[in-house]
Amino acid sequence: MSNLDPLLERNRAFEATGAYVGLAIMPRQPVFVVTCLDPRVDPAAFLGLDLGDAAVVRNAGGRVTEAVIDDIAFISYTIGMMISDGPLFEAAIIHHTGCGTGFLADPGFRRGFAARTGLDESVLADEAVIDPEQTVAADVKRLLASPKVSDRITAAGYVYDVDTGLVRMTVPPDRPRPA
Ligand SMILES: [Zn+2]
């Protein structure tokens, strides 16, 4: 028995739909979504993404970490090989209200977690999303400054409100400019 068992039932229902047949590896929407792993923050639901629509990376907070930059660099390089010129996609960085990374702003929580994992306390403090508008702006800036990322992409910042269900743009799309 596995906790996945009831979901494997859903998988059999999915298989029966045939929704996966003939999909291309190229995303249908020219978008690369970075957002939080919070179960309330599923872009398939709040952006209506269908299978094959877009690449999505989710982590705690939807933060632009070096690993996320590497993924965006990889996808921009790969798609850049397939499309010889013109824009590739927009990296849409979406932070949200009520983010669980906010626990990291609590010194007691942060100290305990740092002790448990050996992670650096000041790094953990920077991971907290308290003001999503502020953190998403910092993350878009970080992505745009990375020399790893193709200058044929754009990056933009958004905030998803878990109480209203609405996404609003807070940082308009911009092109990478190495710092
Ligand atoms: Zn979150």
Q: How far is the CA of 168 from the centre of ligand 1 (A)?
A: 16
Please tell me the predicted confidence (pLDDT) of residue 173.
97
Q: How far is the CA of 96 from the centre of ligand 1 (A)?
A: 6
Q: How far is the CA of 49 from the centre of ligand 1 (A)?
A: 19
Give me the mean pLDDT over the 172-177 stretch: 91
Q: At what angle do helices 66-82 and 132-145 cross, to 10 degrees?
A: 50
Element (H, E) at 43: helix 43-46
- Of 65, 51, 78, the closest CA to residue 135 belongs to 65
Please tell me the predicted confidence (pLDDT) of residue 84.
87
Give me the mean pLDDT over the 125-138 stretch: 96
**Average pLDDT, rounded, for the chain:** 95
177: three-class secondary structure by DSSP: coil
| pLDDT of 92 higher than 80 | yes
Kindly list the strands in the beta sheet with 167-174, ordered across the sheet, starting from the edge strand earlier in the chain.
Answer: 55-59, 31-36, 90-96, 154-160, 167-174
| pLDDT of 174 higher than 80 | yes
Give me the mean pLDDT over the 81-89 stretch: 92
Q: What's this model's pTM, rounded to 2 decimal places? A: 0.94
Q: How far is the CA of 36 from the centre of ligand 1 (A)?
A: 5
Q: How far is the CA of 102 from the centre of ligand 1 (A)?
A: 8
Q: How far is the CA of 4 from the centre of ligand 1 (A)?
A: 23
- Of 98, 107, 94, the closest CA to residue 136 belongs to 94
Give me the mean pLDDT over the 82-107 stretch: 95
Q: How far is the CA of 60 from the centre of ligand 1 (A)?
A: 6
Surrounding residues of ion ligand 1, Cβ less than 5 A: 36, 38, 99
Task: Give, as one character, the DSSP assignment of residue 49.
Answer: P
| pLDDT of 165 higher than 60 | yes
Please tell me the predicted confidence (pLDDT) of residue 29.
96
pLDDT classification of 65: cutoffs 50, 70, 90: very high
pLDDT classification of 105: cutoffs 50, 70, 90: very high
| pLDDT of 82 higher than 60 | yes
Q: How far is the CA of 97 from the centre of ligand 1 (A)?
A: 8
| pLDDT of 177 higher than 90 | no
Residue 136 is which amino acid? V
- Of 53, 46, 51, the closest CA to residue 164 belongs to 46
With a pLDDT cut of 90, the percent of the chain lying above it is 94
